Structure 1
Amino acid sequence: MQEENDVMRNDDEQEIDLLELARKLWDSRKTILKWGAVGAVVGLVVAFSIPKEYTTTIKLAPEMSDNKAGSGGLGALAAMAGVNLGGSSGADAVYPQLYPDVVGSVPFVISLFDVPVTDADGARHTTVRAFIEEDTSAPWWSAVMALPGKAIGGVMSLLRSDDNAQGDGAVNPFKLTPEENAVVSALATRIGADVDTKTSVISLSVTMQDPMVSAMLADTVAARLKTYVTDYRTEKARRDMEYAQRINDEAKQDYYDAQQKYAEYMDRNQGLVTRAAQTESERLQNEASLAFSLYNQTAQQLQIARAKVQQTTPVYTVVQPATVPLRPSKPSKMLILVGFIFLAAVAASAWILFGRDLVDGFRKKA
């Protein structure tokens, strides 16, 4: 019974404390409103200081391959040449889940440096690297915070010898300069790829400070990614086709040479009925026939190799093409404003409830 009374007394004291805190906040509501107004002003300054960013998104649907399906036509063609393709193809090492890593890799990003782009007004024609270095701005506080680093970097660049400079201006992915590494990092953060594991739809997004540049670069990223995957998947088949083409050319030349020898011999030995002449004629004719048979087989194998290249070439359906964004995706001014007002109100409440009493206590002790 005594314990229940103690519990009820503690609950009453806690309720009284909460009411006291609420009363204290209500009495200081003008202070909270002042702090909220200051937070609103700061939020507006921050929101309008952040440059606008435009995002372009492209959605691609890759071809769903089936190892069992599609082998009928090619298998029938291979059977004519006595070639067994087997029931399944090799494993694909670059599957869609690795596309984000491919897009964010250093060689892929460097390949976008020289992509020509045009701003929204159409007045400036530049490259992606020049746009990142010259036309991409940052908030004013970022520039202020970067001043010491720029000063130190300027001094180091003056002390650095010119022997390390590249004469031809080419970018070496193995050894990037600080400036090139900064551009790679900035561009990699602006390019994104996402794969839906359920539908396998690939979403490519590019965020830039110009809507036209964003759309043009997104279209280029999609084209480069499709080219990269196509080159990878068809590399083995293309090598086999090149080898089959070389063998076919050699067999064709051997057949033409054997046919020419047989024709020249027959022209020189017209009217001869000796056994030796007939034997030589049959031998040359058999060599020409054998050469033609080899030439025919290599031609069939060449057609199979060409069909294999076509079969392994992936097909992508553009579900959502690149379009020039009309509205900026960032920053969200309303969200920033509400966030700063909320933080200011929380800070004011903490000051009223705890901070003011602590400062008064320190003053009294002092």
Structure 2
Amino acid sequence: MVEEQEKRRSSEDEIDLIELTRSIWAGRLFIAKVTSVFIIIGLIIAFTSPVEYEATCKLLPESQEAQMPSLGGLAGLAGLAGVDLSSMGGSSGVMTPQLYPEIVNSLPFILEVMNDTIYFERQDIHATSFNYFKNIVKPSVMGYILKYTIGLPGLIFSNKPEDIISTKDDLSFYRISKEDWRLIESFKERIILEIDSETGIVEVMVEMPDPYAAAQIAKKIELMVTGAVVEYKTGKSLKNLEFILEAHDESKRKYESVQYQLARSTDRNRNVNSATAQIELKKLEYEFNLAYEVYKGLSSQVEQAKIKLKEETPVFTVLEPVRIPGDKSKPKRAVILIVLMVMGCMIGTIILFCKFILVGKRGRSF
């Protein structure tokens, strides 16, 4: 009896599966209609979405270890000049490429990029990115739909302070409205900085509605990132060099002054055998020797500081320079149509499947 019941259940399952296939096949016209609706939606999205262009560049930061052998010739010359390179340690500051995205995403960095005036070729205007996205560029049809449907609560309850960005005294305090903050966050998404963990190659990608503007911003980010890294790595050494140069210039002036005084005293007391004159001459000679030793020592330290600064200055190799993109990166219309077509087919099939299940349950309930 049990075996017969199991056979009946399996046969019923087979019959259900066959019926389901028949039901879906019978509803193929319904699936086609649902798919057609999704294709129309896909066409609207594909042809009303704003066009974007992506500019890229690739950099290879030279490691600190790679810079050390290049000082071999300088070390020999420094030895002849009396400069000891053995006491020159490596840079204490460490900034790995993995920290570069943090630099790019920082608020001061983004604001500097957004407040830089660039040329928008398609509109033939010069404007900042902040002003362009806030006052010049017009949202697409889909942008308007999203703004006044999903974004409607934000428009109703948004707060708009009078100041957009303000600073006070020497401390950087930023006051940013919600609308402007959303604009900044949206602009951040247009900038991507990726690091290849194996090769160390840094790739900067910028997406903008204008190809020429995208290239300009990518170039600015390249210069700002390399400049920030160089400033971080060489900041301490540069301050040390400035301090030594200031002391060196002061010692040089003192040395030349004592040298002039000694020359005058020697000429004046050439034929004088006075003990007072001899004491004054020896005093000036002592001051001259002391000033010369200080001047000589600081000159050596200046050369040493210059070599250390050169050693700690990171070098970036541009593997792929920025170029003005010719092809748009968005929207990818073929991909949008294929995805929505598949979604329409799946949703139509799921609706028929649910209908079949509900009809089957009702039939069994009676």
5+ residue gaps, structure 2: none
The equivalent of 1:132 in structure 2 is 133
Q: How does 1:83-102 map to 2 (within 5 A)?
A: 83=84, 85-86=86-87, 88-102=89-103
Moved more, 283-292 or 113-122: 113-122
Quick check: 1:151 aligned with 2:153? Answer: no
The equivalent of 1:280 in structure 2 is 280
The equivalent of 1:325 in structure 2 is 325
The equivalent of 2:353 in structure 1 is 353
The equivalent of 2:110 in structure 1 is 109
Contact 1:81 1:301 in 2 (8 A): no
Contact 2:52 2:210 in 1 (8 A): yes
Contact 2:122 2:210 in 1 (8 A): no
User: 3-state DSSP class of the match of 1:112?
Assistant: helix
Q: Deviations over 1:41-65 (max 9, x none)?
A: 1111122221111111111111132
Moved more, 62-71 or 208-217: 62-71
User: 3-state DSSP class of the match of 1:51?
Assistant: coil
5+ residue gaps, structure 1: none
Contact 1:40 1:340 in 2 (8 A): yes
Moved more, 72-81 or 264-273: 72-81
Q: Deviations over 1:5-51 (max 9, x none)?
A: 88777655544433322221111111111111111111111222211
In structure 2, do the counterparts of structure 1 residues 7 and 77 end up closer, same or farther at CA, with 3 Å as the change threshold? farther
Q: Deviations over 1:180-234 (max 9, x none)?
A: 3223212111111000011111000001111111111111111111111111111
The equivalent of 1:40 in structure 2 is 39
Q: Across the two proteins, how many residue pairs are aligned to each other?
A: 357
The whole-number CA distance in structure 2 between the counterparts of 1:221 and 1:165 is 23
The equivalent of 2:236 in structure 1 is 236
The whole-number CA distance in structure 2 between the counterparts of 1:341 and 1:124 is 40
Question: 1:149: Cα distance to partner?
Answer: 2.2
Question: 1:339: Cα distance to partner?
Answer: 1.5
User: 3-state DSSP class of the match of 2:181?
Assistant: helix
Question: 1:257: Cα distance to partner?
Answer: 2.2
Question: 1:286: Cα distance to partner?
Answer: 2.6
Question: 1:122: Cα distance to partner?
Answer: 6.3
Moved more, 299-308 or 352-361: 352-361
The whole-number CA distance in structure 1 between the counterparts of 2:27 and 2:165 is 65
The equivalent of 1:29 in structure 2 is 28
User: 3-state DSSP class of the match of 1:317?
Assistant: strand
Contact 2:165 2:175 in 1 (8 A): no
The whole-number CA distance in structure 1 between the counterparts of 2:339 and 2:89 is 56
The whole-number CA distance in structure 2 between the counterparts of 1:320 and 1:351 is 51
Give the TM-score normalised by structure 2: 0.86
Question: 1:274: Cα distance to partner?
Answer: 2.9
The whole-number CA distance in structure 1 between the counterparts of 2:138 and 2:319 is 30
Identity rate, percent: 27
Question: 1:252: Cα distance to partner?
Answer: 0.8
The whole-number CA distance in structure 2 between the counterparts of 1:245 and 1:220 is 32
The equivalent of 1:226 in structure 2 is 226
Question: 1:86: Cα distance to partner?
Answer: 4.1
Give the TM-score normalised by structure 1: 0.86
Contact 1:104 1:192 in 2 (8 A): no
User: 3-state DSSP class of the match of 1:329?
Assistant: strand
